Every structure is written in C-alpha cells, then in structure tokens.
Amino acid sequence: MTPAAGTTPRTTLVRTKAELRTHRAALRGSVALVPTMGALHDGHLALVARARELCDHVILSDFVNPLQFGPGEDYEAYPRDLEADLAAVDGLVDLVFAPSVEEMYPVLPPTVSVTAGAAGTILEGAARPGHFDGVVTVVTKLLQLTTPDVAVFGRKDAQQLAIIQALVADLDLPVRIEPVEIQREPSGLARSSRNVYLSDAGRERALVLSRTLAAARAAAPSNAALRAVLHDALQRAEIDWAYALALDPATLEEIDAAHRGEVLVTLVGRIEGVRLLDAAVVVVTEA
C-alpha cells in the first residue's frame, strides 16, 4: 500500500537497536525493509519506491557491514555520507537505521553468526571468502530487529539475492523477499555505489557488461547461442573478467547443453581496480 495522497511519512533517524525497536513497535500496518550500505543512488531509491508500493511503512538500514569485507578490500574507503543519504530519502521512508559498528556488533567478530553454506563459497564467494557469511549474518540481524513483512533487494547482486532467498526459506523467517530489477545509468551501466571510483574512461569501458547482457538476451532462446556469446566476450577480454556465466537460478551451477527454462546470466569484471557486477535472467527453450 502507498500512503494516502498528499501525505508523506515523517523520516526519523535512529542510531541504536533500542530506539529502533521502540519506533518499530509504534508502526501500524505492514512494514518493508530496504537494507543498504548507504552511499544511496537512484538504484536504492527504486528499492524504496517498490517498498512504498507494497507496504504502509518503510525502514531503510544504512550500515557498512565490516563482516562482508575481506583483507585488502575497500571497507575503510567505502563511500559514506549519512547526511546525503538522509536528504535522499527524507519523506520517503519512516525510519533510517544507521547504527555504529559497536552498536551492531558488541563483540566483533560475533560469538554466534550465520553461514551461507556451499552457495556462499562459489563465484563471488570463491573470490571473497567469508563475504556471504557476513551478508547473511547482518541480514538476519536486520530482519530480527525490524520484523518486516517484506524485504526488498536488487537483482544486480544475483548470487546475494539467491542466498538471501535460501536463508529465508531454510530458517523459516517470516518475511517475503521482493526482488527489484536492476537500475541503470542512461549509458546502460548498472547503478552501483562503487561507480564513483571509475573515471570517465572507466565508465565507458564498463559498458561491455551491459552490451554483453544485451547480446545474451538477443541470443536467447537458443542455449548454444547464449553460451557462445559469453565465451566470445571472455575471449575478447575487453575488461579484466572474473567470469561471464550462464547459471541455473536455483542451483547457481553452470547450465549444460540440455538446460531449458530460466537462465541467470551473471557477469563480473574489474575496471580500474573496481569489481563490477551485472546480471539478467533470460529464458532458454531450444538447443
């Protein structure tokens, strides 16, 4: 549900778990959670817009989670601007939960945490060991703290979305996960907080990701043509590819020649030291 015409919710910043619980208890009606690491852009605002369509109230979390960063990654340099984030969502969400690390994790690393299982050790999990354990731990905490009816996530981080869907199903968490399509810049580049690290030339080079996805969509419904598009992209090496894969969305395993049905095309590469992701779901119906 959306607020009545002419009304907007009052946005309140809360910094502690105790404050969050107090304000959450006062909300009447359905509640959506939009988990973020801040540095909000139009992609995040699309998640907020979808949340407002679905529920009476929206809580946005703004927290750079140290558990999902490994040694040598960009945790300290990750963009943070809470003032700008608050301005971006003022009047669009009821609560912004922006805790300190010490508030979120009184003991670091936590004595008890959540693991992502085998799905968290492949693809991005292989490149970033422990990353998805950190993701599912913080998501579990946020879901427990906010008790939402719906939690909204973007499709760009396709492996993350699949793992969070499995988390909710496996642990019987009473929340519905709502995926939202990838939001893009006018050039076609998928919106990401890390895009700020790219030069103009880097942004231009990064368009190989969206061009490859467009070619993959055009190749479907042919299984062979789709896989050929991804093979050719890797051979051209226009960027420093980590992988360009066609996966079964349910298992995150590479499809074979016999696969029919939905296929998750997931692309990851580095440009100017920045790891960029893009993804799309296509349907294969023929060899």
DSSP state of 189: P
Rounded Cα gap, residues 108 and 1, in angstroms: 38
196 within 8 A of 79, measured Cβ to Cβ: yes
Residue of 44, 57, 131, 259 marked catalytic: 44
Cis geometry, peptide bond prior to residue 109 (ω within 30 degrees of 0): yes
Tokens of 143: 């879901």
Q: Does 131 qualify as catalytic in the annotation?
A: no
Number of Cβ atoms within 10 Å of the Cβ of 112:
7
58 within 8 A of 9, measured Cβ to Cβ: yes
Give buried/exposed letters for 169-182 (b at 16+ CB in 10 A, else e). Answer: eeeebebebbbbeb
Rounded Cα gap, residues 196 and 199, in angstroms: 8
The torsion angles phi and psi of 266, rounded to 5 degrees, stand at: -125, 130
- CA quadruple 55, 57, 63, 67: dihedral sign: negative
Rg, the chain, Cα only:
19
Catalytic residues: 44
